[in-house]
Structure 1
C-alpha cells in the first residue's frame, strides 16, 4: 500500500526517481522563477518581449522602490494585516473552544453540530457569493474590514474545529481524569492542560489559516470595493493599466505580497511540522 524505499543497488531506478523528482520540481518552480526575473527587468525589456532571456538591464532597486512610491501597495499591505491577524486569532480561539467541547463532552446533538462544522467545508464558496454579499449589505458591513473578518472567521472555523477536535481527542484520558480528581473546572482544564499540549497544533493551524486568509482573492473582490479596505490580493489587480501594464512593477509587488506567509512558515517551521505529525504515532 505504501511506497517502499528504492534499494541502493538499483542505481537505474534511483536515478530515474531522482530525475523525475527534479523534473517536477523544476516545472513547479519555473513560474516563480519567471516572476522573480520579471521583477528585475526594466519596462523596456518587458515590452520587447524578453520574458525568459537574461535581463538586458537590472532594475531591482527601481522596481521595488516603485512598488511603494507609485502604487498603493503599502495601504493594501496594512489592510491585509488588519484583516488577517484578528481573523487568525479569533479562528484559533473559537476552534480551540469548540474542539475541546466536541471532543471531551457528550451531549445531545453534539455529532450534529460537528457534522455541520465539517459539512460547511464541502460547500463551494461560489454558491454563497450572492447570499453573503446581500447579508453584508443588509447589516451595513459591506466594503468594510468587518465583512472580510466576519466571513473568514466563520468559514475557517469549520475546518479549524475539525483540526483541533482531532488533536484534543488524541490526548490521554488520564490527564482529564486527573484534572477532574483535583477539582479543576473545565475552563482550568482547557487553559492549563489542553492549550499547552496542543501548541504545535495551534502553530500549524495558525500558518494554514494565515495563508488561506492572506491569499484570498475571491472574497476580497466580492466584499470590498474601495481602496481603503482592499487587501493586497485585490490591490494587485489595480496595478494593471487599461492599455499597458508595467509587468515588472506588478511582479515586484507580487513578490512583496508573497513574503509574509513565507516568513511566517520559516519562523514556525519546527512547530508546523511537529503539529502535523502530532498524534500520528502511538506510544
Structure 2
C-alpha cells in the first residue's frame, strides 16, 4: 500500500534516486537562482541580456537600498502585514471554534455542515471574482485593507475548519467527558482541554494560511486599486520604471517579499512538522 523506503529498494533504484534528486532540485531552484542573480546585477547586465553569467556590475547594496528609498515597497510590506496577520488570526480562531463544534458535538446536521465547509474548497476562486467585487462595493469595503482581511478570513475558514475538525475528532473523548464531570463549562473544555492539545495543529494551519494570504496576488489585484492598501505581491509591478524596465529592482523586491513567510516557516518548523504528522503513527 505504501511505497518501499528507498533504503530497502533495489540497488539500481537507489542509484537512480541519488542521481535524479539533485537534478530535480537544481531544476526547481533555477528560477530562484535567476531572480537572486538579477537582484544584484546592474542595469547594463540587464540590457545586455546577461541573465545567467557572472554579473559585470555588482549592485546588491544599491538595488536593495533603492527599493526602500525610491519605491513604496516599505508601505506595501506594512500593508501585507496588516492583511496577513489579522486574516490568519481570524481564520484560525473561527476554525478552532467550528472545528470544536463539528468534532465534539453529535447533532443531526453535523456531516452536511462539515461537507459544506469542505465543498467550498473545491469552488474555483476565479468564478467568484465578479460577485465578490460587487459585494465589496455594496458594503463599502472595496479598495480597503479591511475588505481584503474579511475576504481572506471567509475564504480560508473552510480549509482551516476541515483541518482543525479532523485533529479535534482524534482527541480522546474521555478527556472531554472527564472535564465535564468536573463541572467545566463547554468554553472551559474548549479553552483548557482541547486547545492546548491541538497547539501543533494550530501552528501548522497558521503557517499555511499566513503563507497563502501573504503570497496572494489574484485577490489583491481584484479588490485593491490604490497604493494605500496594496499588498507587496501586487505592488511589485510599481517597482518597474515607467519607461525603462528595472528588473533588478523587481527581483530585489521579490526576494524581500518572500522573506517573511520563509522566516515564519523556519520559526515554527518544529510545530509545523508536528502538526502535519500528528496521528500518523500509533504507540
Question: Shorter-chain TM-score: which interval?
Answer: over 0.9
Question: Taking structure 1 as the reference length, what is the TM-score of the superposition?
Answer: 0.97
C-alpha distance in structure 2 between counterparts of 1:217 and 1:86, whole Å: 18
Residue 136 (structure 2) aligns with: 136
Residue 58 (structure 2) aligns with: 58
Residue 105 (structure 1) aligns with: 105
Unaligned runs of 5+ in 2: none
Can you list the C-alpha shifts for 1:32-76, whole angstroms capped at 9, x where unaligned? 011001101011111111000010121110000001011100000
Can you list the C-alpha shifts for 1:183-237, whole angstroms capped at 9, x where unaligned? 1111000000111110000000010000000000000000000000000011012
C-alpha distance in structure 1 between counterparts of 2:43 and 2:238, whole Å: 18
- The aligned runs of 1:80-95 (5 Å cut-off) are 80-95=80-95
Q: Matched residue of 1:238: which SS? A: helix
Assess if the C-alpha contact under 8 Å between 2:100 and 2:168 holds in 1. Answer: yes
Can you list the C-alpha shifts for 1:103-143, whole angstroms capped at 9, x where unaligned? 11122322222111111000000100000000000111100
Residue 48 (structure 2) aligns with: 48
C-alpha distance in structure 1 between counterparts of 2:250 and 2:258, whole Å: 12
Question: Taking structure 2 as the reference length, what is the TM-score of the superposition?
Answer: 0.97
What is the number of equivalent residue pairs in this alignment? 283
Assess if the C-alpha contact under 8 Å between 2:120 and 2:158 holds in 1. Answer: yes
Assess if the C-alpha contact under 8 Å between 1:239 and 1:245 holds in 2. Answer: no
Assess if the C-alpha contact under 8 Å between 1:118 and 1:158 holds in 2. Answer: yes
- The aligned runs of 1:203-222 (5 Å cut-off) are 203-222=203-222
Assess if the C-alpha contact under 8 Å between 1:204 and 1:273 holds in 2. Answer: yes
After alignment, is 233-242 or 130-139 more displaced? 233-242
Residue 38 (structure 2) aligns with: 38
1:281 CA drift (Å): 1.7
C-alpha distance in structure 1 between counterparts of 2:174 and 2:277, whole Å: 22
Residue 161 (structure 1) aligns with: 161
Residue 24 (structure 2) aligns with: 24
- The aligned runs of 1:1-283 (5 Å cut-off) are 1-7=1-7, 10-283=10-283
Cα distance 1:226–1:113, how it changes in 2: closer, same or farther (>3 A)? same
1:9 CA drift (Å): 9.3
C-alpha distance in structure 1 between counterparts of 2:165 and 2:7, whole Å: 40
C-alpha distance in structure 2 between counterparts of 1:156 and 1:14, whole Å: 40
C-alpha distance in structure 2 between counterparts of 1:274 and 1:176, whole Å: 22
C-alpha distance in structure 2 between counterparts of 1:84 and 1:224, whole Å: 15
Root-mean-square deviation (Å): 1.3
C-alpha distance in structure 2 between counterparts of 1:105 and 1:10, whole Å: 49
Cα distance 1:251–1:9, how it changes in 2: closer, same or farther (>3 A)? closer
